[in-house]
Chain A
């Protein structure tokens, strides 16, 4: 479990339980730098739980999480983010009262070096840093195509754009690994198609490693290089989209009868 084999993120036999119920058990997972990996599974399979373990929201009862070879098990979420793992949420958690720009600026706060005193007194050192942060935030917004909406209140945007703001916000923390929790949820096919292209572009432009949870099979099969299937907290299959589509275990456990269309 080190970075020698190119692994940027690795889960080593991780288990989490809620009141005796094992939500995730003995989960092994390795992601190499630059990969775009999908994590799929039926509802309640434990996909988001895996995210929450990686980002420190949950502490595993056993097992370890490694990021760039460093053991990050039990780190607080803010520390994990500062280390270089950013995430989005399934049910979008934008700061709705703040503007789009402020949402992105909040994400840069963790890189701020000025002290609070410098900020409260508006000292030149702080003013300069704030100016740079704004420039960078605008750049990020520009790259995700939201520059015109910078001063709009985030909560007032249409759904698809809020999703974009959330990704922009995650990008502004300067991550190496980006975790996307159902980025296409609630999107129509056209929006989803644009999102697919967007995710690929973002990965290339920002040099990211992306792990995403998604129910939209077209998106997952379309852009992921590798897919991991999880059911009842256990890993049941891993492989390329083609392999997963032909895997009988996956078909019976996850895709079931309705899966015929995909398989």
Chain B
């Protein structure tokens, strides 16, 4: 058990180290860079939660933008100051419970958690009918449900203020909040993935018939994965709302799911390490690629600024990845303490790296 104790200690030290780095960055780096960092951290939460249902349980869902929207609107409704609420809902009054109260700053983590609950409830409602389907059919059904959520956001004006969205959400999602939620997400989901429940989910991914013959209630486990995934998607949506201080249906459109899909496929379906690293990398690269959207002059050729050109780069990247490295950057591998310790020669007892799949192609 001392081995386990050592790993726990290492984890705690590593988390402390991350917070110190966050503090240093917050002190010395400028506002723009920190905004990118915070966005990256929120994307970690979103991508890792998405990987649970798509990569670990192997259920191809296209719904995370819907659950993120639920979380985002929840946080917006809870955190928006009362006077701002009156200002935003000038056409139709906001519905009752949210009209009369608003959370103070210290309750922001609670609001984010409640955003997660909204995402989880959404996942439950979507999951019960759609998780009876498999593969492509499930993807279509979840896509449909997330579209329904966006359509509702566009039209339920007393709750969402329609297409205009909600502006003026206090920007409480600082780097520490974003980092803390990212760490919680990674820890909880990796614990889950390595637990008996995670094994059951992976067995469903590998072979549903065999998993059922092993006594695993398939539907229940798919739903569990879906709801946990929905919770953290809601959390990510809530943080995102506070980060950009506004929510609108167009922000949580399908392109959000598409981004997350690129991230988890790029990182390796089923690899939490992969999702974490690519989520952060994706955010930074997509900021760095902003120049491709501005007007460019190459000699006599003039390319006007086209917004969305960045997505072209990522789409190309995805195509190349599918051709040359189908299992993503990490496959199903994880960087665990076992792995790190064995790498640095400090061999602990019972060192075991995760099963490594040899590349097929």
Do residues B213 and A77 form an inter-chain contact, with CB atoms below 8 A?
yes
Which chain A positions have C-beta within 8 A of B214?
78, 81, 106-107, 109-110, 169, 173
Q: Which residues of A contact B (CB under 8 A)?
A: 55, 57, 76-79, 81-82, 86-87, 89, 93-99, 102, 105-112, 114, 116, 119-122, 126, 129-130, 133, 151, 153, 156, 169, 173
Do residues B195 and A78 form an inter-chain contact, with CB atoms below 8 A?
no
Within the complex, the shortest CB–CB distance from B68 to chain A, in Å, comes to 21
Within the complex, the shortest CB–CB distance from A24 to chain B, in Å, comes to 19
Do residues A89 and B224 form an inter-chain contact, with CB atoms below 8 A?
no
Do residues B213 and A153 form an inter-chain contact, with CB atoms below 8 A?
no
Which chain B positions have C-beta within 8 A of A78?
212-218
Which chain B positions have C-beta within 8 A of A93?
207, 209-210, 213
Binds A, one of B43-51, B140-148, B198-206: B198-206
Task: Tell whether B196 is near chain A: CB-to-CB under 8 Å.
Answer: yes
Task: Tell whether B286 is near chain A: CB-to-CB under 8 Å.
Answer: no
10 closest residue pairs by CB, A with B = A110-B215, A81-B215, A93-B210, A119-B195, A95-B206, A120-B192, A106-B203, A77-B212, A153-B355, A82-B215
Which chain B positions have C-beta within 8 A of A173?
214-215
Task: Tell whether B357 is near chain A: CB-to-CB under 8 Å.
Answer: yes
Within the complex, the shortest CB–CB distance from A183 to chain B, in Å, comes to 15
Within the complex, the shortest CB–CB distance from B27 to chain A, in Å, comes to 33
Which chain B positions have C-beta within 8 A of A122?
191, 195
Do residues B224 and A106 form an inter-chain contact, with CB atoms below 8 A?
no
Bound: A18/B193 CA distance, A? 39
Which chain B positions have C-beta within 8 A of A129?
196
Considering the complex, give the chain A residue whose CB is closest to the CB of B217.
A78
- Extra A-B contacts (13), CB below 8 Å, given A78-B215, A95-B210, A126-B195: A77-B213, A81-B213, A86-B213, A89-B213, A94-B210, A95-B207, A97-B357, A98-B206, A108-B196, A109-B203, A109-B215, A110-B214, A116-B197
Which chain A positions have C-beta within 8 A of B228?
116, 120
Which chain B positions have C-beta within 8 A of A153?
355-357
Bound: A200/B199 CA distance, A? 30
Contacts A97-B355, A121-B188; A109 near B199 (Cβ below 8 A): yes
Task: Tell whether B22 is near chain A: CB-to-CB under 8 Å.
Answer: no
Which of A86, A89, A112, A169 makes the CB contact (< 8 A) with B196? Answer: A112
Considering the complex, give the chain A residue whose CB is closest to the CB of B209.
A93
Do residues B209 and A57 form an inter-chain contact, with CB atoms below 8 A?
yes
Considering the complex, give the chain B residue whose CB is closest to the CB of A126.
B195
Do residues A130 and B191 form an inter-chain contact, with CB atoms below 8 A?
no
Task: Tell whether B105 is near chain A: CB-to-CB under 8 Å.
Answer: no
Which of B192, B202, B216, B357 makes the CB contact (< 8 A) with A116? Answer: B192
Which chain A positions have C-beta within 8 A of B195?
116, 119-120, 122, 126, 130
Do residues B191 and A95 form an inter-chain contact, with CB atoms below 8 A?
no
Within the complex, the shortest CB–CB distance from B245 to chain A, in Å, comes to 32
Which chain B positions have C-beta within 8 A of A76?
212, 217
Which chain A positions have C-beta within 8 A of B215?
78-79, 81-82, 107, 109-111, 173
Bound: A12/B231 CA distance, A? 48
Considering the complex, give the chain B residue whose CB is closest to the CB of A172.
B214
Considering the complex, give the chain B residue whose CB is closest to the CB of A116.
B197
Task: Tell whether B352 is near chain A: CB-to-CB under 8 Å.
Answer: yes
